[in-house]
Amino acid sequence: MPGLLAVSDGPLSSRGLRVEALALPDPNARDLVAEVTTPVIRIYNPRAGKSVVLIDCGAKQGIIRSLARRGVAVVRVPADTDASRILSFAPRGVVISNGPGDPKRTEATIAAVRRLIREGVPLFGVCLGNQILALAAGADTYKLKFGHRSQNQPCLEEGTKRCYITSQNHGFAVDQKTLPRDWAPWFRNANDGTNEGIRHRRKPFWSVQFHPEACPGPTDTDFLFDRFLEAAG
CATH number of residue 116's parent domain: 3.40.50.880
Are 140 and 178 in contact by the 8 Å Cβ rule? The answer is yes
> How many domains is the chain built from?
1
Q: Is residue 1 part of a domain?
A: no
Helices 223-232 & 61-68 angle (0-180, nearest 10): 60
* Per-residue pLDDT tens digits of the chain, which is 233 residues long: 677 888 888 888 889 898 888 888 888 889 999 999 999 999 999 999 999 999 999 999 999 999 999 999 999 999 999 999 999 999 999 999 999 999 999 999 999 999 999 999 999 999 999 999 999 999 999 999 989 999 999 999 999 999 999 999 999 999 999 999 999 999 999 999 999 999 999 999 999 999 999 888 899 999 999 999 999 98
Rg, the chain, Cα only: 19
Q: Is residue 227 part of a domain?
A: yes
Q: Is residue 24 part of a domain?
A: no
Helices (H), 13-56: 14-22, 32-36
Nearest Cα to Cα of residue 207 among 144, 106, 147, 137:
137
List the catalytic residues.
Answer: 127, 211, 213
Nearest Cα to Cα of residue 136 among 74, 180, 177, 87:
180
Q: Is residue 226 part of a domain?
A: yes
